[in-house]
Amino acid sequence: MINLKVVSHLDPHVKLDTGGTLYRAYSQYFVPTWTLRWWQGRSRAVDINKIHQLYVNCIELIETAHKDSERLKEDMQASIKGLKNLKMTYQDDITITSQIEVILSKVNEICGTQNISPPPSYDDEHTSEI
């Protein structure tokens, strides 16, 4: 649950360090984040996969009616803002943003919320002009 809370507090353009048991936001160093990740043998793909696994584990606990299911749902719902901010951080990487969209979709499904607005379809945009 702590890692969900860390995700929920992410600001736009702040990268997440999932290298330890507890996640943390990367601090400003003299060395660029990509260099630190390379030195530590990690990458943004590894970090996103760990985030994905966090949500998979939470969903499994919720589906098995774990005693903290309601609290997990609340924490997952609160983390939507941080996931959206993380998506903004990686807006130029379509693979990473797609993975974050999948996580958001699962969170919305399990929490019964709709916090992702789908892009308007071509037909919706042009039927108003007719």
pLDDT at 93 over 50: yes
pLDDT at 84 over 60: yes
The predicted structure's pLDDT at residue 115: 47
The predicted structure's pLDDT at residue 29: 61
Q: Using CA atoms, how far apart are residues 20 and 3, in angstroms rounded to an integer?
A: 11
The predicted structure's pLDDT at residue 41: 66
The predicted structure's pLDDT at residue 118: 44
User: Cβ(101)–Cβ(119) under 8 Å?
Assistant: no
- Report pLDDT digits (tens) over 10-50: 999 888 888 889 998 866 666 666 676 666 667 778 889 99
Give residue 34's region: left, alpha or beta (phi > 0; psi -120 to 50): alpha
Q: pLDDT-based confidence at 72, cuts 50/70/90?
A: very high
- HEC letters along 8-44: HCCCCCCCEECCCCCCEECCCCCCCHHHHHHHHCCCH
Say if pTM beats, i.e. exceeds, 0.85. no
Q: Using CA atoms, how far apart are residues 100 and 40, in angstroms rounded to an integer?
A: 23
Range 60-66 average pLDDT: 89
